[in-house]
């Protein structure tokens, strides 16, 4: 399968601060790639450079077969970009917003395109409703419909499901995978681990550096982490105690406690005093994707002071 994206050594600086530091990434057509990492890690900046919306200060490559530096306008005509913040007109109806977007693009077959988008995203029965009265999930569908009107080859989604209920999130991701199955390439930034696991592959950035890239299972298997789960009571206090141990990550989830470390000996020593507590049951488990990302973030250097 041909590569939709092939970039190397991308660098972006704002003042004296390096926000993206020599990012290299290849992505096949029809893949969903999730960008994950802490706030301020360079996810949005990286996505915008890859799609021709920002000019890199260093590096280069291609996107959709076009040179990233010399053919940015050609790239931009073939992408759909859904931003974090809803950006359509709330005093217009759903259909009026789509008509406005279509006229900006100068699209042919505009009414047919709009009808298709409304049907695809189950908006047809609401097309006369004012956008400002929509819930977050319906606004999300409208924003996606607007992104798809001009039939882009690449879809860029910047934290698209923030504040949306679980049912709407699942419906949204089902639609994303349907688009990918028909050849569209999707780049999506997210903070949700369940969404990250639905991506074909992930790029984990921390403070401008790409620390991991691959399928979720590959990233977990390469992490070198070891993990235990404890079940029982009093886990909040136990989590607090274990978090004070060097190299140990501990997080309570209801009636379970997840403890992980890259050092298996240190991990065994940390939990040893609690292994024989009759109120607790311990099991060795595979680390989760969240365990891996917390571990990677702990090892990363915060570049906030560079500027």
Per-residue pLDDT at 193 exceeds 90: no
Of 49, 58, 113, 124, the C-alpha closest to 79 is 49
| Residue 300 banded pLDDT, cuts 50, 70, 90 | low
Supply 283's token pair: 């099991």
Q: What percent of the chain has pLDDT over 90?
A: 65
Instruction: Look at 194 and 297; give whichever has higher pLDDT.
Output: 194
pLDDT exceeds 60 at position 83: yes
Per-residue pLDDT tens digits for 200-236: 999 999 888 999 999 999 999 999 999 999 998 888 8
> In the predicted model, is pLDDT for residue 143 greater than 60?
yes
Mean pLDDT of 121-126: 93
Task: Determine the Cα–Cα distance for residues 138 and 168; give it in Å rounded to an integer.
Answer: 8
Could you please state the CATH topology (level 3) that the domain comprising 3-220 is classified under: Rossmann fold (3.40.50)
The whole-number pLDDT of residue 304 equals 54
Per domain, the residue ranges of the chain are 3-220, 226-286
The CA-atom distances, in angstroms, between 173 and each of 38, 127, 166, 168, 192 are 22, 22, 11, 9, 12
- pLDDT band of residue 39 (cuts 50, 70, 90) is confident
- Please state the pTM of the whole predicted model: 0.87
The CATH number assigned to the domain with range 226-286 reads 3.30.70
Cα–Cα distance measured from residue 52 to residue 32, given in angstroms and rounded to the nearest whole number? 18
Give backbone dihedrals phi and psi of 205, rounded to 5 degrees, phi first.
-110, 140
Query: For residue 217, what pLDDT is reported?
Result: 93
Region 268-272: what's the mean pLDDT? 94
Phi, psi torsion values for 297, nearest 5 degrees: -65, -35
DSSP strand pairing (185-189 vs 154-158): parallel
- Could you tell me where the DSSP H helices lie in 77-202? 94-105, 110-120, 136-148, 166-181, 193-196
Confidence bin at 305 (pLDDT 50/70/90): low
- How high does pLDDT run on average in the chain? 90
Distance CA 144, CA 146 (A): 5
The pLDDT assigned to 258 comes to 92
């Amino acid at each position: 399968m041909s590569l939709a994206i092939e970039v190397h050594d991308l660098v972006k600086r704002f003042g004296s601060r390096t926000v993206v530091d020599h990012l290299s990434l290849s992505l096949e057509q029809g893949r969903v790639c999730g960008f994950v990492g802490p706030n301020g890690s360079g996810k949005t900046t990286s996505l915008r450079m890859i799609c021709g919306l920002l000019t890199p200060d260093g590096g280069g490559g291609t996107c959709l077969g076009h040179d990233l530096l010399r053919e940015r306008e050609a790239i931009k005509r073939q992408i759909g970009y859904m931003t974090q913040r809803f950006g359509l007109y709330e005093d217009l109806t759903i259909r009026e917003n789509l008509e406005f977007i279509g006229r900006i693009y100068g699209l042919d077959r505009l009414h047919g395109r709009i009808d298709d988008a409304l049907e695809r995203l189950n908006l047809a029965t609401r097309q006369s409703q004012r956008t400002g009265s929509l819930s977050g999930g319906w606004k999300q569908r409208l924003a996606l419909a607007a992104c798809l009107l001009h039939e882009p080859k690449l879809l860029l989604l910047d934290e698209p499901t923030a504040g949306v209920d679980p049912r709407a999130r699942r419906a949204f991701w089902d639609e994303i995978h349907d688009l990918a199955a028909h050849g569209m390439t999707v780049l999506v930034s997210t903070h949700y681990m369940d969404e990250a696991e639905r991506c074909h592959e992930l790029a984990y950035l921390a403070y401008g550096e790409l620390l991991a890239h691959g399928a979720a299972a590959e990233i977990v298997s390469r992490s070198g982490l070891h993990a235990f789960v404890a079940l029982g009571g009093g886990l909040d206090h136990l989590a607090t105690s274990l978090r004070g141990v060097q190299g140990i990550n501990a997080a309570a989830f209801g009636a379970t406690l997840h403890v992980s470390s890259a050092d298996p000996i240190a991990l065994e020593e940390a939990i040893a005093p609690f292994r024989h507590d009759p109120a607790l049951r311990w099991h060795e488990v595979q680390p989760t994707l969240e365990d891996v990302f917390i571990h990677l973030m702990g090892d990363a250097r915060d570049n906030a002071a560079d500027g």
